[in-house]
Amino acid sequence: MFFHFPLSPYLRNISLRIVYLFCMKIPEIEEIIAQDMNDLRACPKGLKCAECAADVCVKLVSVAEFPSQYGTFRIIGFVNNKDGKDHIVILKGEVGDGRDVLTRIHSACLTGDSLGSLRCDCGPQLHHALQLIEKEGRGIVLYHQEEGRGIGLVNKLRAYALQDKGYDTWEANVALGFGADERNYQIPAEMLRKLGVVSVRLLTNNPDKVESIEKYGIKVSERVQHELPPHEHDHLYMATKKERFGHLLHLDHNIAAK
């Protein structure tokens, strides 16, 4: 004899969601590339994305294994029709259901990331993010080609020269005729969406970044503090981040006296 116990609406919804998750087909990255490359071949503009009239178009065009000193990842290339820049994603593990993916959207900094500059905390933040994501076993570093908060490498070096004369990083960018922060997060949001990301645990101290990425449709389920200790070369830069840009930092302001 079998007994039938009717499910409550709450349990029924949970059961349907479980069945859906087991049955849904999550596309592999290679499948996304194949579809996007077919779309590009069919597009009259091809890879001449700057000539595309679409409001925003982001395509995933390559993926490769990426062994590094921090672990083994995959490195993923994109093209878009908005800025002509080579933004990439470094992916650990699988995106899966796309929820609560540990993510760092890292603005490019050649001087800090590659040349070991001590003027900023960019390099240590990038490397620490890769370490955290490797430990997590699942996550993303999105390398956002927005050097100098969007003003470009040479203009950033011009800003450095002004900082040597006493300007802070906010004042230097403005003195050069730019906004204090020229970055836009529409393309990063589209890149994450292309990979199936729904929500992120965002490694950032910048509340504006949280607001901006949510503005473009990616939910930030958690802001994960991403602060590294200041030192004698970057303590003024870090203080400017906190006091002028509103970053949520806990700084040792006595370091200047050390």
pLDDT at 256: 45
Q: What is the pLDDT, as a whole number, of residue 173?
A: 95
Q: How far is CA 149 from the centre of its chain?
A: 13
Expressed as residue numbers, the domain containing 98 is 28-146+183-226
Give the pLDDT confidence of 42-65 residue by residue, as tens digits.
888 777 787 787 888 999 999 999
Out of 83, 183, 244, 252, which one is annotated catalytic?
183
pLDDT in tens, the chain (258 residues): 444 555 555 445 545 454 444 445 567 888 888 888 888 888 887 777 877 878 889 999 999 999 999 999 999 999 999 998 999 999 999 999 999 999 999 999 999 999 999 999 999 999 999 999 999 999 999 999 999 999 999 999 999 999 999 999 999 999 999 999 999 999 999 999 999 999 999 999 999 999 999 999 999 999 999 999 989 999 989 999 999 999 999 886 454 434
191 lies in a domain?
yes
Let me know if 99 is a catalytic residue: no
Residue 170 lies in a domain: no
Q: What is the structure's pLDDT at 147?
A: 96
In a domain, 67, yes or no: yes
Q: Which of 36, 113, 121, 181 is catalytic?
A: 181
| 161: in domain | no
Contact between 101 and 95 (Cβ < 8 Å): yes
**Contact predicate 227/205, CB 8 Å:** yes
86 is catalytic: no
Number of domain units in the chain: 1
pLDDT at 34: 85
Cα separation, 228 vs 134, whole angstroms:
18
In a domain, 235, yes or no: no
* 200 found inside a domain: yes
In a domain, 258, yes or no: no
Residue 235: both structure tokens together = 């303590």
For residues 101 and 157, give the distance between their C-alpha atoms in angstroms, rounded to a whole number. 34
Domain assignment present for residue 65? The answer is yes
For residue 79, the domain's CATH number is 3.40.50.10990
